[in-house]
Amino acid sequence: MRALRLPRPPANAPIPRYGNRHRLVQTFPIALGFTIACTLAALMGISRAGSASVEAPVQMVALGDSLTAGFGLPAEAAFPEQLARALGAKGKAVALTNAGVSGDTATDGLARLAWSVPEGTEAVIVELGANDALRGIDPQITRAALEAILRGLKQRRIAVLLAGMLAPPNLGQDYGRAFDAIFPGLAAQFETLFYPFFLDGVAANPALNQADGMHPTAAGVDIIVHKILPKVEELIEFARSNRQN
Known catalytic residues? 66, 212, 215
**Cα atoms in the 13 Å half-sphere on the side-chain side of 35:** 6
Written as one letter, the residue type at 31 is: A
**Measuring CA to CA, which residue among 223, 59, 231, 34 is closest to residue 156?**
59
Alpha helices in the chain (DSSP H): 20-53, 66-69, 79-89, 106-111, 113-116, 130-134, 139-155, 173-180, 182-190, 218-243
216: DSSP letter: B
Look at strands 123-127 and 193-195 and give their pairing.
unpaired
* Alpha-carbon gap, residue 139 to 128, rounded angstroms: 13
Residue 24: alpha-carbon gap to chain centroid: 58
Q: Each residue of 215-236: b (16+ CB within 10 Å) or e?
A: bbbbebbbbbbebbbebbeebb
Which residues, 6+ apart, have CB-to-CB distance to 181 below 8 Å?
139
